[in-house]
Amino acid sequence: MSSTSRARRVRRIAAVAAYGGGGVGLLGGMAVGVLLTEARLARRTVGWWEEEPPFADGRYGSDFAADGARPLLLGVLGDSTAAGQGVALAGQTPGARLAQGLAAVAERPVDLVNVALPGARSDDLDRQAGMLLDRPGPPPDVVVVIVGANDVTDRVPPARSVRLLADAVRRLRAAGCEVVVGTCPDLGSVEPVHQPLRWVARRLSRQLAAAQTVAVVEQGGRTVSLGSLLGPEFTANPAELFGPDNYHPSAEGYATAATAVLPTLCAALGLWPEDERPEAARREGILPVEQAAVQAAAEGGTEVTPAPPTSTGRPPARWALLKFRRRRRLPEETGPEETGPGGVRGATEGEVEGEAAGDPGGRSGTGTVIAGPPD
């Protein structure tokens, strides 16, 4: 299928989603039968992580509080990948890595609130968004959403998935939040998945990721492709980047994803020292949003954001900026911290605010922050 055909299909899914329609079929009955057979075989091989994700809510970068700056509030929504399923320590979760990286770039404390739920699909995003927005105090400054894998495996019609995501982004944007969506990962990279399921999973994942991008950008949010970022790298090194269940990322895998998302997170808040204009030498450009979405779905770490304003002050309608932001490492690695009165209290060894978090067991740890501003 050509890139033009893929772009048309993505636009069709996004249009159906916008008007409240159902799904757009991809596979015939025979193909579905093969897919389900292969899926059953894969499930026998893929392990299941029984433990809850570590509780990582709390304050990061408290050392930056000396100048009295108000802490930034980072919210995280989505599924098991957003929650950090598969790692043992709080600091290894993607939310913790992003919070510590954001604190280092902003030189301000960051309070993390993660309401992501393992197993969640896009139909849970409205509830999760409500948990963030109904909390006492101001809404989050920025919200990261990672969702889509369970929509694919549970065969949710893509137009429905996209519509639900768009509704959540619209609600968050209306509350004043910046929104960054890590689009559907490439399920074809899961090691126990074999052909033809691998091909189907990859195609479905990329199709949904591209349609998610169109919907998010049209609501004023930004997306980062996690698809092929977690594809070739994970396929080439599954022992390191997949966790014990052979399905969720390992600590190193989450670090890879966080490296890609952090620059866009910072750019959404005006903290990243890069021009928002495209750099032709880096293959960046302003494209019709569906074409930018298709290209991003095929190349991991690609950001898609609404096109910058023109000379008339208005961004081109239905166009988007395709950008590859530079990534660097940060030297420190820390977990959530204790805070002073009135602050969000971080998880410590054996003691967290379990009731407020819905996690009475409470876990803690440290992690590695793996992204930072460009040189």
Just list the catalytic residues: 80, 245, 248
Torsion of CA 172, 57, 49, 225, to 10 degrees: 40
Task: Catalogue the E-assigned strands of 148-190.
Answer: 178-182
Which positions ≥6 away from 93 have C-beta within 8 Å? 53, 54, 56, 83, 84, 87, 114, 254, 367
Concatenated DSSP letters of 298-315: TSTT-EEEEPPP-TTS-P
Contact 46, 98 (CB under 8 A): no
DSSP single-letter state for residue 99 = H
Place of tokens 């959403």: 145
Pairwise CA distance, residues 74 & 60, whole Å = 10
